[in-house]
């Protein structure tokens, strides 16, 4: 079913009247080979019979049109002033708009979303240019664009040398007017003048009130019934951002100031009219009241990134506030069990998690998320939020002190499912960049993996290693060892931990494997400690010949029970050695 449907015409009042996405007036249905006259496929929909008659442009070519098949359907519609292909309509609008702007010495500000919408509103696009009073250029360009775009579905143009908007706009008419479009342009100019006048009034009114003076009103605005007011949320973000500031190299006082003012523009007239400029207007107002430039920039950038193509904040103050904002959302809604399900994600937790990942990885930040998550939880506990406390008690140990809560954060990071959620988002991002999702799982399976930058670097090194012959063969040997262990552990109902007894080695291959494992553990461990993951992979490659020889020459399930147990311990040592960089059992062949 269509998400939105309508009824129309004289039949619309009847019970069971036809509903559809748009009014249905005629149906064309013909069938037959190209060399013969096609036949009409006989059927009807709500009394509307199929035929071979359609209509062109309702004003410029209203007469009925007889069509035989799709080829002449397209050409006859075009002759009747209807461009059937929406992609062609888009191309006509875009190219004509660019040409018209260029002819006047301007440059079109392209807008794909608006182009898609306008192309769906017209059958025969005719591009025209209008203008507005220069006095309105005192309004921020983004507000001008939002006003013209939202109210009149028009494009704006700019000076190609300065990048600033010009007092011109481009509209798309649906008719070739006899006056060359003068009346259409005049009508749009009249409406746009009125809308820009309103926007100018809103902007100038907003400038009269400082951002900080708006904050008390947030105490009366509920963010979420279980997560408190907007004022409480702002306080949590400010506190968490201050904790994050030293980790990302940000000035603590500037970070706290930016976090405090970050949401203030939500109460302004301009943002009330145009929600899409939230944050951006906060920056303009902050600069107008002489706030620090990094504070103003953070007010705009703390919402970013809002999608995979959106830019990522790079200034340390903006990074701290952006992370705090997203982690507060992620922690809060996760705690009250408002998690994404299937295609539904009403509180945009996937976007928040992906935003955290992109900010950290793009800026190469070393941030351990588990303790940060603990600080986020502590923010709710400190406000005596019983909903969050109750939710968190299922998978962590919230305490009265921040320190105790942070210490229990790793439980929250793992048992609470947040790690898996973030891991899944990271897998999606890395997969889009060409990495294998199973490698992300293999790295996250190691204990304590909450440093996303190091996870990414491990994945990169692991991917390169597994593309080599040494990597492929070592993976096969390691998985063989893991599979044998799984079978024998299940059979014996025990694990085979502990160091093998060298006195029970019966053949050289056992001794050589034990020596290789000891060497690899030392060298790979040292490389990992230095965060040299490529070096760790090179060290592990030395294990391959010994593993291959062991499986070629040695029978693991020896008749002597002690020898069998000792060899299974040796297999466990192979598994343990490779876990220096990843859990190889999670990697697909």
* pLDDT tens-place string over residues 392-444: 776 556 555 555 665 565 555 555 677 778 888 888 888 888 888 888 888 88
- Least confident range from 113-127, 420-434, 498-512, 553-567: namely 420-434
Q: 228 pairs with which residues across the strands? A: 224
Q: Where are the domains of the chain?
A: 10-79, 86-206, 215-434, 465-586
Count of C-beta atoms within a 10 Å radius of residue 213: 12
Domain with residues 215-434, CATH architecture = Orthogonal Bundle (1.10)
Contact 444, 458 (CB under 8 A): no
User: Residues 6 or more apart from 244 whose CB is under 8 A from it?
Assistant: 250, 255, 319, 320, 323, 324, 367, 372
Tokens of 266: 């939500």
Using CB atoms within 10 A of its CB, is residue 216 exposed (0-12), middle (13-18) or buried (19+)?
exposed
Q: How far apart are CA 276 and CA 217, in angstroms?
A: 21
Q: What is the pLDDT of residue 449?
A: 81
Q: Convert the pLDDT of each residue in 97-130 to its tens digit.
A: 999 999 999 999 999 999 999 999 999 999 999 9
Q: Report the C-alpha gap between 575 and 475 in whole angstroms.
A: 10
**Cα–Cα distance between 528 and 540 in angstroms, integer?**
11
Nearest to 385 by CA among 321, 328, 325, 341: 328
369-382 vs 230-248: helix crossing angle, rounded to 10: 150
Write the pLDDT tens digit of every residue in 173-182. Answer: 999 999 999 9
Please state, in angstroms and as integers, the Cα–Cα distance from residue 336 to each residue in 331, 387, 391, 399, 541, following that order: 9, 6, 5, 17, 46
**Residue 288: beta bridge partners?**
none
| CATH of the domain spanning 465-586 | 1.10.730
For residues 533 and 448, which has the higher predicted lDDT (pLDDT)? 533
pTM for this structure? 0.84
483: Cβ–Cβ under 8 A, 6 or more apart, which residues? Answer: none
Least confident of 256-265, 387-396, 480-489: 387-396
What is each CA distance from 323 to 316, 354, 360, 490, 518, in whole angstroms? 11, 11, 9, 44, 42
Choose among 500, 336, 349: nearest CA to 421. Answer: 349
- What is the 3 state secondary structure string of 385-426? CHHHHHHHCCCCCCCCCHHHHHHCHHHHHHHCCHHHHHHHHH
3-state SS class at 463: helix
* Distance between first and last Cα of the chain: 42
Could you give the count of Cα atoms lying within 13 Å of 292 in the half-sphere of its Cβ? Answer: 15
């Amino acid at each position: 079913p269509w998400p939105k449907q309508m009824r129309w015409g004289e039949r619309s009042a009847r019970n069971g009247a036809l509903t559809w996405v748009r009014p249905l007036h005629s149906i064309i249905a013909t069938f037959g080979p190209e060399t013969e006259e096609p036949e009409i496929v006989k059927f009807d929909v709500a009394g509307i019979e199929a035929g071979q008659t359609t209509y062109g442009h309702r004003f410029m070519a209203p007469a009925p049109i007889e069509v035989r098949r799709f080829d002449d359907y397209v050409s006859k519609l075009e002759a009747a002033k209807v461009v059937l292909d929406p992609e062609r309509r888009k191309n006509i609008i875009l190219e004509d708009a660019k040409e018209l702007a260029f002819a006047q010495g301007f440059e079109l500000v392209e807008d794909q979303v608006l182009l898609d919408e306008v192309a769906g509103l017209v059958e025969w696009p005719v591009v025209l240019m209008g203008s507005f009073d220069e006095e309105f250029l005192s309004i921020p360009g983004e507000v001008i664009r939002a006003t013209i775009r939202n109210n009149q579905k028009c494009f704006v143009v700019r000076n190609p040398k300065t990048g600033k908007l010009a007092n011109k706009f481009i509209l798309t008419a649906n008719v070739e007017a006899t006056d060359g479009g003068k009346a259409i342009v005049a009508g749009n100019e009249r409406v746009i003048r009125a809308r820009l006048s309103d926007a100018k009034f809103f902007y100038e009114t907003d400038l009269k009130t400082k951002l900080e003076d708006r904050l008390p009103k947030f105490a009366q605005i509920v963010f979420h019934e279980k997560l408190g007011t907007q004022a409480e949320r702002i306080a949590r973000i400010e506190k968490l951002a201050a904790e994050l500031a030293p980790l990302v190299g940000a000035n603590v006082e500037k970070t706290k100031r930016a976090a405090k003012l970050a949401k203030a523009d939500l109460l302004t007239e301009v943002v009330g009219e145009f929600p899409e400029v939230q944050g951006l207007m906060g920056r303009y107002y902050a600069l107008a009241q002489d706030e620090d430039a990094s504070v103003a920039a953070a007010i705009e950038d703390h919402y970013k990134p809002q999608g995979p193509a959106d830019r990522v904040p790079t200034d340390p103050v903006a990074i701290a506030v952006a992370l705090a904002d997203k982690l507060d959302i992620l922690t809060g809604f996760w705690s009250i069990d408002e998690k994404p399900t299937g295609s539904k994600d009403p509180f945009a937790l996937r976007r928040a998690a992906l935003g955290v990942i992109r900010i950290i990885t793009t800026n190469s930040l070393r941030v351990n998320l588990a303790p940060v998550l603990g600080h986020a939880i502590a923010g709710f506990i400190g406000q005596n939020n019983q909903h969050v406390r109750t939710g968190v008690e299922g998978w962590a140990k919230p305490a009265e002190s921040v320190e105790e809560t942070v210490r229990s954060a790793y439980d929250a990071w793992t048992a609470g499912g947040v790690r898996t959620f973030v891991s899944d988002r990271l897998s999606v991002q890395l997969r889009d960049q060409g990495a294998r999702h199973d490698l992300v799982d293999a790295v996250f399976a190691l204990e304590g993996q909450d440093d996303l930058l190091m996870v990414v670097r491990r994945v990169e090194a692991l991917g390169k290693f597994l593309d080599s012959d040494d990597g492929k063969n070592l993976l096969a040997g390691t998985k063989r060892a893991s599979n044998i262990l799984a079978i024998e552990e299940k059979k014996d109902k025990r694990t085979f931990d502990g160091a093998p007894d060298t006195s029970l080695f019966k053949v050289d291959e056992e001794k050589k494997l034990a020596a290789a494992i000891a060497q690899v553990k030392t060298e790979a461990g040292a490389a990992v400690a230095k965060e040299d993951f490529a070096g760790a992979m090179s060290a592990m490659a030395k294990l391959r010949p010994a593993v291959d020889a062991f499986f070629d020459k040695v029978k693991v399930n020896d008749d002597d029970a002690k020898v069998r147990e000792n060899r299974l311990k040796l297999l466990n040592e192979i598994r343990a050695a490779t876990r220096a960089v990843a859990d190889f059992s999670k990697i697909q062949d």
